[in-house]
Structure 1
Amino acid sequence: MEIRQLKYFLTIAKCKSITKAAEILHVSQPALSKMMKGLEDELGMTLLLRSNKSNELTDAGEIVMEYAQKIFSEIDNMTTTLNDLTNLERGEIKIGLPPIIGSLFFPNIMADFHKKYPNIKMNVTEYGAAKVVKSVEDGELDLGVAVLPVDGRIYNIYPIVEEQMKLLVHHEHALASSKKVHLKELRDEELIFYHEDFALHDIMWKKFIQIGFEPNILFKSSQWDLMSEMVAANLGVTILPESICNRVTNERIRIMDFVPITPWNLAVITKKDKYLSYAGRTFIDYISNHSSTRIGYNFKL
């Protein structure tokens, strides 16, 4: 078994397509298919269920993917540790940022960090917060920004933002004149909600279930500006973090508190048993020492 075989297999697993994986890897599809067939023959098991539309993993394929991810994570740890011995002002950080969070808080701080450490490369991947957490656990990312809570047994947690969620309604809505709304008053409302891969989806869904009903979801989006503009068009109501609400300027929207109070707390996370490079530690220290006035937002650290 070769490392290259496992690398190519992981690419196919992520793409769910030999054709797409071949394009990414810059190899011919027949050559890639032959290599995967060789890996299957060596292991004596089928790893991929092949069809014209997609390539799904078998149970054996899922196991091979899990161990392959661990292998490459350890290789990355070794390479990073060795690089730290000789290149203390260089390196690469693989960072996971949820789209909403990234656009709110990180452009300025990443620009300032790059000016101070121009030889440290920041490789940013945009995932929903839930996928950021899983990718940090799997070793795909060095660090990520997550919505709390996360499992403190698995991750090092560096809190950065503490806020509350707010309710947005159209200015002619029956609740528009209220100073504070209870979520139970939204039982019959149509909600502009978040996609399932966003942590906010589960946070708010559980909150509604605790009150006693499932939210009536009209539309799902990952774009806060689209969500707020749908409220402005009187298509429904939505719930967004305070920092996002501070950017909403449409006069047709009313923003208010609601109960039960729902926190929106963010943290940088790293995996506890994964070696964190000098570059990664430097980035976390930089955030910790970066004042809220320079960042321009409500950073805790």
Structure 2
Amino acid sequence: MEIRKMYYFDAIVKYQSFSRAAKALHISQPSLSNAIKSLEREVNAPLIERTTKQFRLTELGQQFYERSKNFIAQYEVMHTELLELAKGEQLEIRLGMIESANHWFSKVMVAYQKLYPKNQIALMDTLYNQTVRQALLGLHVHGVITNQQIVDTEIKSELLYNEPYVVLIKNDHRFATREGLTLEDFIEEALIIGMTEFQTSAQILKAFEQENIKPHIQYKIERFEMIKVLVEEGLGIAILPQHYVTQHLSENLLIRPVKSEFLNRNVYLCTMKNRTFPKSILKLFEFIKTMH
């Protein structure tokens, strides 16, 4: 049984149409139909109920789809691993990255480049739980640095560090002379946070909820850098991860600790379980775990 036919069958199920699947596969519809008929002859049973009005898998077709989908996934992992092992030290290593890890990760890159100058590192934002899972299992990234512990049978989450959140204020703000703040202090302050669907923002809002305090949210911003700009303009104050705000802080800005047991977070390195990596990628993971 050819794996090519499994890919064809997978595409037909995905697009629920022979014509759309053929277009996506860049083959003719007759060629696709003939390949599926050949597959059905191999198993000596129909896999698809063909009617003019609807597309439906037979019971055997559904079982074949589930098993072939798993086989395709395993095949793609094996194929990718073999290509990477063959290249050795001329790889593009792709990592998902939360924004607050950018500063310390630059030190990892400097140390790593000295050992593996021919390898390229590509960094991309990976913000959502499902996006992390899809990026790893879809082989779009080798690893992800995230503040979410992904609990999954196919993904390994290793704790890198725990960090508190801190308050970011302009240096002439009334909180500038305070050494410690509580969430109650925020009631009358314009608060700048990230988008509410982000894990960081969700945790901050959860902390207010747990202390039964309603914050005055003035702005929701996608990027931490823009949040810093708004704080510097005096448009509000922000709560951000300590690792992020302690680096390259403008002379016009100050940070203050916030007293709340709910405002701290874990940061993880997530990778795909049971995947074989070349030594050069394993070395990068080692740097990540020791140099944060």
- Tell me the TM-score range normalised by the shorter chain: 0.5 to 0.7
Unaligned runs of 5+ in 2: 16-21, 37-46, 57-64
User: What residue number does 1:3 align with?
Assistant: 7
Give TM-score scaled by structure 1 length. 0.66
Larger radius of gyration: 2
The 5 Å alignment of 1:34-45 reads none
Amino acid at match of 1:194: G
| 1:259 alignment partner, SS class | coil
Q: 1:184 to 1:152 in 2, by over 3 A?
A: farther
| 1:175 alignment partner, SS class | helix
Q: 1:4: how far off?
A: 6.5
User: What residue number does 1:58 align with?
Assistant: none
Q: 1:178: how far off?
A: 1.7
Amino acid at match of 1:110: M
Question: 2:221, 2:68 → 1: CA distance?
Answer: 33
Q: 1:188: how far off?
A: 3.4
Q: Percent identity?
A: 17
Q: 1:240 to 1:2 in 2, by over 3 A?
A: same
Q: 1:87 to 1:208 in 2, by over 3 A?
A: same
Question: 2:69, 2:109 → 1: CA distance?
Answer: 28
Q: 1:192: how far off?
A: 0.8
User: What residue number does 1:114 align with?
Assistant: 113
| 2:178 alignment partner, SS class | coil
Q: 1:154: how far off?
A: 5.3
Q: 1:182: how far off?
A: 0.9
Amino acid at match of 1:166: V
User: What residue number does 1:186 align with?
Assistant: 186
Task: Indicate if the aligned counterparts of 1:232 and 1:253 stay in contact, CA closer than 8 A.
Answer: yes
User: What residue number does 1:80 align with?
Assistant: 80
| 2:225 alignment partner, SS class | helix
| 2:177 alignment partner, SS class | coil
Q: 1:71: how far off?
A: 5.7
| 2:255 alignment partner, SS class | strand
User: What residue number does 2:201 align with?
Assistant: 201
Q: 1:121: how far off?
A: 4.1
Q: 1:73 to 1:94 in 2, by over 3 A?
A: farther
Give TM-score scaled by structure 2 length. 0.68
Question: 1:203, 1:212 → 2: CA distance?
Answer: 14
Q: 1:187 to 1:36 in 2, by over 3 A?
A: farther
Question: 1:149, 1:68 → 2: CA distance?
Answer: 30
| 2:266 alignment partner, SS class | strand
Question: 2:138, 2:13 → 1: CA distance?
Answer: 17
**How many corresponding residue pairs?**
258
Q: 1:78: how far off?
A: 0.9
Question: 2:234, 2:178 → 1: CA distance?
Answer: 17
Q: 1:288: how far off?
A: 4.2
User: What residue number does 1:158 align with?
Assistant: 158
